[in-house]
Structure 1
Amino acid sequence: MIQRALYLILLLAAVVSCKTTPEARRPVTQRSGSFINESIERNKALVAKEEEQIEKLIARDSSNTYIASSNGFWYYYNSKSTDSLNVETPEFGDVVRFDYSVKDLYGTDIYTEGEIPTKRYAIDKEELFQGLREGLKLMKANETVTFIFPSHKAFGYYGDKNKIGTNVPIITQVTLHSITHETNK
């Protein structure tokens, strides 16, 4: 009889302790979108500050004619191709050979042309910082162009993990030596 009572108590305990619907777990802390909104505002302020610095630099330089690209950077030609047969710019998959140097907005060398070996780059198929990727597409063979890139078009928040720090706008002088067109177009 005691065994029956014990079984009955265990059976009742099992039935009562089981819930038919699980209870949802609540997060320990709840966050609003404030961090993202603050980050957006910080980035907008940073871009505005850099663009103001770049516009002041351009205003002081009366010896060059700057072109504002639709991609968010500025450039001018140091030497422009006058060859009437040289009208092609690189397209997706073309391999370009070029040299470049990097300075900060004050003109201080970060990387000289000799420090960076001549690069071979397949357009949009390899890694290269965004501004230079877009800038190379504007150039023809045997041209030298100076680009001014805000930090978000250069190395951005992370820098290059060597000489270029966080959020540093740069001036890059690029000489495009050759364009080898992809044969499988």
Structure 2
Amino acid sequence: MRKLILIFSVILMGCVEHAPSHPPVGGMFSEKELAISKNRTKNLNIIEREQIEDWIKNQEEEFFPMTMNYWVNNKELSSQKRKSNGEAVSYQYDIYDFDKVKLYETPKKNINAVFGRFEELKPVEDALRYMEHNQEVTLLVPSSLGFGTYGDNGKIPSDMPLMIKLRLL
């Protein structure tokens, strides 16, 4: 009977929800910690913008700033018809670093994603709203609009700007 109680106790302890390793969004940060975080993000964004702009200057291909703080290789993209919430699109993209090394072999693909219910990187969603069928663009995305401070727990480390080759299917 004691063995049964011990086994049951061990099983119950395994079901206990553990506290997250970092505070949740909107969690327990003091005003000072929030100010430090905001300043860090602001300074990192300034540095990354300068680095991306310098990188662009050394490329044969032209890139143009979008209002959301990323760049695209299509000057006319933001003047194309914008898709509304509720419209569905299918797309795929590959992620590269700024040495043009592909980070994942298999492209990220999404079929019939609905605007307004996207669970995607904001620059990808923004560009897709303006793209036409079978159009391809390359996005240059600062880390704050990519995977940010935590990375993707895979091949994208923290604070890494990305190059995204996006195609509307």
Q: Do both proteins adopt the same fold according to a TM-score greater than 0.5, normalized to the shorter chain?
A: yes
Greater fraction of residues in helix: 2
Residues 107 and 135 from structure 1, CA distance in 2 versus in 1: closer, same or farther, beyond 3 angstroms? same
In structure 2, what is the equivalent of residue 154 of structure 1? 146
Separation (CA, whole Å) in 1 of partners of 2:37 and 2:65: 27
Unmatched tracts of structure 2, length 5 or more: 1-28
Partner of 1:118: 109
Q: What's the offset of the Cα at 1:116? A: 2.4
Aligned counterpart, 1:72:
69
Contact 1:90 1:140 (C-alpha < 8 Å) held by counterparts: no
Shift of residue 35, structure 1, vs aligned partner:
2.2
After TM superposition, the structure 1 = structure 2 runs for residues 25-44 of structure 1, keeping only pairs within 5 Å, are 33-44=31-42
Q: 5 Å matches for 1:133-172?
A: 133-172=125-164
Give the fraction of aligned pairs with identical amino acids, expressed as a percent.
Answer: 25
Q: CA deviation at 1:117?
A: 5.0
Question: How far apart, in 2, do the equivalents of 1:174 and 1:70 lie?
Answer: 18
Q: Secondary structure at the match of 2:164?
A: strand
Residues in 2 aligned to 1:170 and 1:94: alpha-carbon distance in whole angstroms? 27
Deviation at 1:88, TM superposition (A): 4.2
Alpha-carbon distance between aligned partners in 2 of 1:90 and 1:127, rounded to the nearest angstrom: 16
CA offsets 1:44-80 (integer angstroms, 9 cap, x no match): 111111111100111001x222111011100013xx9
Conserved in 2, the CA contact under 8 Å of 1:75 and 1:147? yes
Q: Distance in 1 between matches of 2:108 and 2:31?
A: 45
Q: Is the 8 A contact 2:41 2:144 kept in 1?
A: no
Secondary structure at 1:109's aligned position in 2? Answer: coil
- C-alpha change, 1:102 and 1:65, in structure 2 (3 Å) is same
Q: Aligned partners of 1:158 and 1:137: how far apart in 2?
A: 27
Q: Please tell me the root mean square deviation across aligned C-alpha atoms, in Å.
A: 2.4
Distance 1:116 1:76 in 2: 19
TM-score w.r.t. the length of structure 1 is 0.67
2:51 partner letter: Q
Structure of higher CA gyration radius? 1
Note the residue ranges of structure 1 that are not aligned, 5 or more in a row.
Answer: 1-30, 82-86, 178-185
**Number of positions where the alignment pairs a residue of Structure 1 with one of Structure 2:** 138
Name the amino acid aligned to 2:64. Answer: I
